[in-house]
Structure 1
Amino acid sequence: MFKEDFPHHNRWVQNNVKYIPEDVLQQLENNLEYLTPSEYIPVIILLRASGWRISDIL
């Protein structure tokens, strides 16, 4: 077996983390009651309160 035969695993790099801009988060919080469908509202509240990833919340 050659080195090329093994799959290449991408390592997590901190610089690749994508954050939601603060002004977008502020807009979301200001207009949370208008979010549709309304089932998303508890998800957004948990995301903001806990800081978890969406996959953890769902």
Structure 2
Amino acid sequence: KLRELKESFEQKKKHSETLQAELKTALLEKAELENKLQQQSILSAQELKAEKVKL
């Protein structure tokens, strides 16, 4: 019985660690995408200014 509990605990611990690693990866990807989005919006703003200067 005790061994079953221990095995169950170990499995849950591994599962938790896997989920934490997946979360970390997802958060890194999110940060990268937000960074790209910010760069795109900066470029768009610069292009908009350049267009206004032409007019």
TM-score (norm 2): 0.25
Q: Looking at CA atoms only, which structure, 1 or 2, has the larger radius of gyration? A: 2
TM-score by length of 1: 0.24
Q: 1 or 2, which has the higher helix percentage?
A: 2
